[in-house]
Structures are given as structure tokens and as C-alpha cells.
Structure 1
Amino acid sequence: MCANCIACDEKPTPPRVVIVGLASCFGCQLQITNVESHLLDVLGQIDLTYWQLASSEPMPDGFDVAIIEGAVTTEESEALVRELRAKAKAVIAIGACANTAGIPGMAAAHHLMRPTEVYDEVPEACGGMIAPRSVPSVIDVEYRVPCCPIDPFEFIETLTRALYGSNATQTTRTMCGDCKRNETGCFYGEGTLCLGLVTLAGCGARCVNLGRPCNGCRGISPDANLESARESVARYGVSVEAFDKALEMFNQTNPVLKAKD
């Protein structure tokens, strides 16, 4: 049996997979459906026992892989991810909301830790609201698929790794290298803010290829040098304050941002 392999775990039945959505727009789950031909190949190798977006059936008691989209914003969702962790052999966090709390994480800014500090009354349907948190800050996860929304092909590749195991290392480089390889111009030469100089690479710098500056949805690279980046931003005449503010959109609860500040 290969390392970390689930599919060949001496079981006559295919690996059981569940897909769960927390606080998010469900856009990452929709992205999964956008690779129909590849998805069908993968679905033929697994038992998709529960997909919140596609079924109202209750979640099964047992499964092998748990795929989680969205941020943890309630006591109920925190309990759910802990339950998923206890049952699953592998957990995959997909999208910015799951990996760094994403847009929901902005509610944690400026010490607005609970909705009751903003609203006089919180609807009962919201459950026990808590400060938005990323999934990896609550439980350990084996695999992550960043971006907002995710790249469906990156998701398929990651799911395949979870099923069959892989010794491939994950990149920690920043986006700027991809721009150079794509031979695209730098926005800073135009005096325009771009977060590519500190953002984790891996998407091929698609936004920049389309003429849009990077907004950092893949999160800050562990190799990023924020102090040096701020110096570069200032050297190009771009507001450092605006740079720091832009980083908060997808990194408000990201420990990398806090550790490098």
C-alpha cells in the first residue's frame, strides 16, 4: 500500500467522500461541477455518499475523505468540522473561506468578534455565532485548495492525491515568478496596487493574464517577505496603507499575516 493512500486500503468498496459547505457563497462547490468530463472520471472511482449542494439526504456515519468549503462561523459548524475530522482519514479544505476564513473573516476585523457586538438581535436561525475562523485553525487538514473560487482542475488533482497518495511537494513561491514566466507586465510600473508579490503562487497568475491585479485570494505565501514588499510598494509610489488593507481581505485570520506583521 502506498503512503497516505485511501483508495487501495484493502477494501472491496470505493473510497467514501462527503462534501460539506459552511459559511460561503458555495461558489467553490459550483466550480467542481464545471469540470464535468474530469469529474465523471473521478466520481467513477469514489462513493460520493453526501454532497450538501446536490442532496438533502443526511450525512452518513462513515466516510474516508471530507471536503469542506466555507469558514467556521457558528458553534454548530465548529462541532461539525471536529466530527468530520474524527471520522475522516483525510480532510480537504477548499477555497479562501475554508483556508483563511476569507470574506467571512473580515467580520473578525477591528475586534468585532461576535455578531452581537454589531447587531442588537441575531436571528435564532443563525445558531450560536462565533468569530469567523478558518477550518485549519479548528482542525488539522491534510490538503488545501486555495483561491476564490477554486481552480476545479487543482481540486481534481488534490482529490486524486488524497485518494491515492503522493510525495509531490507543494509550492511556496510567490506569484511574481509566474508573471515573469507568462511574460506579463508588472502593475507597479503603472503605479497600481497588486498583491502578487506576496501571494502564494499556483493559479498561473490568471487574473494578471486577464489584465487585473492580483487580489491575494490564494493567501500569503510562507516565503513572502512582507517588510521587503512594503518597501517595494513605497518605492513605486503606491500606498503601503492600501497594501496592508488589501491583504486583510483574504488574510484577516491568516496566522501568516499576523506572524509577519
Structure 2
Amino acid sequence: MRTTVVRRAVLTASALSLGLLATACGSGDSGTKAGGGAEPQRSASAPAADKGKSAAELAPLLVTQADLPAYEVEADAAAKAGGGQSAVPDKAECKPLVQLQSFVPLGKPAGTATVAAREKAKKPGEGASVEDKLDALKDGLSVTRTSVGLASYDGKGAEEAFGTLKAATTACGGGYTVQDGTEATRIEKVGSSPAVTAGDESLAYSTVMDLKDGDKATMQFVVVRKGNTLATFYALNLTGEAAQPKAVVEAQAKKLG
């Protein structure tokens, strides 16, 4: 992909997929991380809800391997690498969308936590033919990888962050251009995605990126607010067509209560 930030995310997904492909043609298992859950309560009269959670408090609320058996759940290297602070849209109102895609927190969260969930590719059985192994390689490259982020805010910070994202999806429907250093990437449009019912309020949208040479990439985004915590989901696929990460969203929303 053309921007530094997006390329970093895709390369991370590539590395993860290629690692799986090597396993598919040989043997071995990938590692996972674990955690727990809790239920925040939304109430204007509850003082505790006004204080955001720290990173340590958010970490146990992230989805784990046990929550998503059909996925490989792991640390999100792309989100940890960050580096998206230099990405600037040509339209100021589109900045929240660029921040979400660039792994830059919206507003001033009290704490953040991230994880990644990658669909498991089919592995060839014992004694599989070369053709079956090649099919497994192709399957490994066509899986969708979802970055999951939690951010908790003091006061009404989560509501404000959600509001800026929602407004941006409307204002930037016709697309925008992102400048990252000497690289410019065109987002051709911001469109709606199947509605998601979760948390206190939710938002689902997609972006279509111009990869030049006639190629396009469609990425899926979902944002769920539960009390003063914002859960964000960014799904991409190396084939260029990511599906909405419904199972990942449902599992994470359930852990938030």
C-alpha cells in the first residue's frame, strides 16, 4: 500500500500470514495471549464512571484466544509500532479517520490497550499433495486480520471521540488524500457497512483506497462505545477485500458488558 502507516500494517499482516504458511507446509503452532473480562456501568450519577481506566485495567478486557477459537489472537505489532503521527489528511475534518487507521489514539485517553485477531487458515493434512499445499498457501494470504483497540477516557471523552469519528464518516464520504512524508495516498470514498448493534452506541464504515495501477483495497472499521471506553476494530486483507470482523466485534463487545 502507498502510505507508510498502511504499508506497515500490511507488511505485518504479510509476515504473520507467511509464518502461518510455513507452518502449513511443515509443523508447529503459534502462541497466544490470555485475559479476563469486566462490565462497566453507564450512569451519569456514578462517580466511578467518570474516571477512565488505565492500560493495566484495560488489558484484561481485551479479547483472548479463548474468546475467538477460530482466530489466532496475538500482540498487535502494527499498533505497537505506531508511527502514524506524521500522516496528515488534506481535509481537517478527516483527521479522526486517519488517526484510527494509523493507530493514533483519539483525544486524550487515560489508558489504551491493543491486540490483533487473525483468521486461521486451513492447513493441509498429513501426506497432502503439492497442489493441496499450494492451496493452503493461497488460503493463508486471503485471511482477514483485525486490529482491536481499547481506549478509556475521563468524563465524556469517549462520547466526544465517538462523535468526531461519526461526523468524519459523513464529512469525508467523497474521499480524501493522506500525506505521510513524501507519500500521498488517496482514499476514494468512505462508505457505510452493515450496522452493528453493540455497547451504548456503535458505528461501522469502510474505506476504499487507491493502490494505483488500477488496484483498490477495501478496509473495514467498527467503533463501539461502552460507557467511557471506546473499542475500535480495523480489518484488512492482503487480497484487498476485507470483510467486517463480526465475530471479533461481538466477542469484544461481550467482554465490555
TM-score over 0.5 for the alignment? no
Whose strand proportion is higher, 1 or 2? 2
Larger RCO (alpha carbons 8 Å, 6+ apart): 2
Structure with greater helix share of residues: 1
TM (normalized to structure 1)? 0.28
TM-score w.r.t. length of structure 2: 0.28
